[in-house]
Amino acid sequence: MKISVDRSVLLPALSVVGGVVERRQTLPILGNLLLSADDGLLRLKGTDLEIEITSTAVCEVEEAGTATLPARKLTDIARSLPDGTQALIKVQSERGTVVSGRSRFTLSTLPAADFPTMEVPAPEVMVEVDRDVLQRLLDKTSFAMAQQDVRYYLNGVLLELSSDRAVAVATDGHRLAKVVATLDDANPDDSGLATEPRQVIVPAKTVLELKRLLGSAPDRVRVELSERALKVDLGKTQVVSKLVEGQYPDYNRVIPADLERVASIDRDRLRAALQRTAILSNEKYKGVRVTFETGRLLLQTQNPEKEQAEDEIEIEYNGESVSVGFNVAYVLDVLSAVDASTVEVRFKNAENSAVWQGVGAEDEVFVIMPMRL
């Protein structure tokens, strides 16, 4: 294989596929990228056996071929080259060379035949979604997904697709985020979508990679679902991922109903007050006592050193005094996900979960369980 490629084209493509490569590998080949060159295109592929990302870059192909090169070293080399330079990449036998100007780098390779490729079954569902819709679904829910929970089905985002809407849900057992989006009529009848929703659990790493890549994706992206795999076509980039197996809990049962008490709070004032009081909260549990009183909200924190912080802001609330303990970080995450300037909190007492929503955003629901302080 012998190609010439502009640094301004190579580096973005390497950054796209390199994100999936872990620093520590169980197999040496997983530390490499698969490079395939023909017909004026360089195709790059990286994988960790759970997720696979492929991207393309325009290049001059002198000799077509396929090879693998170390992902991080190749990316660092491309990043170190001056803007506007060309890189000549040549792979022969067990050695690869990268030449640019007076700079020359020799890299070890591994056989391209050993590079693992994920099998993608024929899709059962194919749907085109606005990039901004998919970005919103993931951005506003992913913060609530579990991290390395033994309940493996919580380590990701539930994506629920039907003929007219998409729902994303994430929970770690202490909080829950649910966002609903309406799908347009651009999808054909043979998309595989039915009125009965199709549910899949997208792994946490795949969710984070998609969030990273969607910003530079075209306006429309294609989502393909099969029994055990998800494929997202982002134009020059394709993401293939295994799905988390298991039954996701019924999220509707987690969202409390009949919450008779409602408070309206300025989002930015609440965020600032929480950030101030969190300074003296318990570093491990990050708890804050929130007391709803007529016309005002009291916030109190303390730590094992008996240090205390108190703050107070005005709110719209008319009812009896109720004190609830919340994790400060959980509330701040919700406030970051809310676009509206005013947040509505519906609650019952100190023992029940509270529902948080931006005013006018009925399709976004955030649930936070109380904590004992």
Residue 285 lies in a domain: yes
Residue 317 lies in a domain: yes
CA separation, residue 252 to residues 85, 140, 176, 365 (Å): 55, 17, 10, 11
Q: Which domain holds residue 173?
A: 125-251
pLDDT at 150 over 70: yes
Residue 345 lies in a domain: yes
Domain boundary among 251, 279, 303: 251
Average pLDDT value for residue range 153-172? 94
Average pLDDT value for residue range 84-93? 94
Q: Is 304 helix (H, G, I), strand (E, B) or coil?
A: coil
The first and second tokens of residue 126, run together, are 């194919």
pLDDT for 30 equals: 96
pLDDT band at 227 (very low <50, low <70, confident <90, very high): confident
Residue 214 lies in a domain: yes
Q: Within this chain, do residues 245 and 269 fall inside the same structural domain, yes or no? A: no
Residue 119 lies in a domain: no
Give pLDDT tens digits for 62-87.
Answer: 999 999 999 999 999 999 999 999 99
Q: Within this chain, do residues 65 and 23 fall inside the same structural domain, yes or no? A: yes
pLDDT band at 93 (very low <50, low <70, confident <90, very high): confident
CA separation, residue 263 to residues 78, 103, 358, 366 (Å): 54, 64, 12, 15
Q: Within this chain, do residues 183 and 204 fall inside the same structural domain, yes or no? A: yes
pLDDT at 242 over 90: yes
pLDDT at 133 over 80: yes
pLDDT band at 195 (very low <50, low <70, confident <90, very high): low
Residue 100 lies in a domain: yes
pLDDT at 205 over 70: yes
Domain boundary among 251, 272, 304: 251
Instruction: Count structural domains, the chain.
Output: 3
* Cα–Cα dist 308/155, whole Å: 35
Q: Within this chain, do residues 65 and 92 fall inside the same structural domain, yes or no? A: yes
Average pLDDT value for residue range 191-213? 88
pLDDT for 164 equals: 83
The DSSP line for 99-144 is EETTEEEEEE---GGGS-----PPPSEEEEEEHHHHHHHHHTTGGG
Q: Within this chain, do residues 351 and 260 fall inside the same structural domain, yes or no? A: yes
Q: Within this chain, do residues 204 and 110 fall inside the same structural domain, yes or no? A: no
pTM of the model: 0.92
Q: What is the CATH number of the domain that holds 30?
A: 3.10.150.10
Q: Within this chain, do residues 56 and 133 fall inside the same structural domain, yes or no? A: no
Domain boundary among 214, 236, 251: 251
pLDDT band at 23 (very low <50, low <70, confident <90, very high): confident
Q: Within this chain, do residues 151 and 240 fall inside the same structural domain, yes or no? A: yes
pLDDT band at 196 (very low <50, low <70, confident <90, very high): confident
Q: Within this chain, do residues 187 and 238 fall inside the same structural domain, yes or no? A: yes
Q: Within this chain, do residues 165 and 182 fall inside the same structural domain, yes or no? A: yes
Give pLDDT tens digits for 255-291.
Answer: 999 899 999 999 999 999 999 999 999 988 899 999 9
pLDDT for 189 equals: 61
Residue 303 lies in a domain: yes
Contacts of 268-276 spanning 24+ positions with Cβ under 8 A: 268/341, 269/313, 269/314, 270/297, 270/313, 270/331, 270/335, 270/343, 271/332, 271/335, 273/297, 273/299, 273/311, 273/312, 273/313, 274/299, 274/328, 274/331, 274/332, 274/335, 275/332, 276/309, 276/311
pLDDT band at 27 (very low <50, low <70, confident <90, very high): very high
